[in-house]
């Protein structure tokens, strides 16, 4: 029986197949590794120094924007520099050993290394500012951080979870003046009020499920 492919071509095909297999395995391992770095739902994440949203937001009453300064104007909410922390801690709890990493960070002008809690895949585009402008509250995605001594991931932020909101935004939008209000509760007529807010905030529901919104 005549040989269909030449030996060199057969070797080339095997090499290409092996390379594709190796790349496929590497991709799967990297993908699984990236998932492993995302904290589990409702599991408090240890930080050093420990940071309590419950104390700073719930007890002291700091507004989200005091630390997350770019949340209204940028896709990224912003991580506060140590100088923001020192606004208060240059005077408060200066001798507390638990805050020593904070003071060292300030003296050496090196950023603190916080553990990322909410992380989206690189192929997903998310813009904080547009959600804030359209009346989506912080607690909708991040939960009641004012009750978290250590912060945890309260929502999956997976595609199906996001699409559910994009399909029915009237269930979630709130008046802009309550976007940063952790105590806000949906009214009994949330659907009716939500539908009015969709008009007021010019939310085009027909475009909310366009793939290009999140995948660019």
Residue 173 in contact with residue 70, Cβ under 8 Å? no
Contacts of 9 (CB under 8 A, 6+ apart): none
In a domain, 207, yes or no: yes
In a domain, 20, yes or no: no
In a domain, 170, yes or no: yes
Nearest to 145 by CA among 48, 68, 205, 203: 68
List the domain range (segments joined by +) for residue 181.
Answer: 53-59+116-213
Give me the tens of pLDDT residue by residue for the chain, a chain 216 residues long. 455 556 777 677 778 888 888 887 776 666 555 554 667 888 999 999 999 999 999 999 999 999 999 999 999 999 999 999 999 999 999 889 999 999 999 999 999 999 999 999 999 999 999 999 999 999 999 999 999 999 999 999 999 999 999 999 999 999 999 999 999 999 999 999 999 999 999 999 999 999 999 998
In a domain, 181, yes or no: yes
The verdict on pTM exceeding 0.85 is no
In a domain, 102, yes or no: no
In a domain, 73, yes or no: no
Residue 137 in contact with residue 180, Cβ under 8 Å? yes
In a domain, 9, yes or no: no
Structural domain total, the chain: 1
In a domain, 106, yes or no: no
């Amino acid at each position: 029986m005549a040989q269909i492919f030449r030996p060199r071509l057969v070797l080339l095909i095997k090499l290409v197949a092996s390379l594709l297999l190796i790349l496929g395995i590497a991709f799967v391992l990297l993908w699984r590794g990236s998932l492993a770095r995302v904290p589990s739902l409702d599991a408090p994440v240890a930080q050093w120094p420990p940071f309590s949203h419950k104390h700073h937001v719930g007890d002291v009453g700091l507004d989200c924007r005091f630390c997350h300064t770019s949340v209204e104007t940028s896709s990224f909410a912003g991580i506060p520099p140590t100088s923001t922390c020192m606004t208060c801690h240059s005077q408060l709890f200066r001798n507390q050993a638990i805050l020593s990493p904070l003071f060292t960070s300030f003296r050496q002008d090196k950023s603190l290394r916080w553990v990322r809690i909410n992380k989206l895949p690189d192929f997903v585009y998310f813009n904080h500012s547009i959600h804030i402008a359209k009346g989506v509250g912080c607690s909708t995605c991040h939960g009641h951080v004012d009750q978290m001594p250590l912060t945890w991931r309260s929502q999956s932020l997976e595609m199906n979870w996001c699409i559910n909101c994009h399909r029915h935004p009237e269930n979630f939008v709130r008046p802009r003046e309550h976007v940063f209000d952790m105590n806000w509760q949906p009214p009994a007529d949330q659907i009716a009020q939500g539908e009015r807010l969709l008009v007021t905030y010019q939310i085009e529901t027909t475009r909310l499920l366009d793939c290009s919104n999140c995948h660019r």
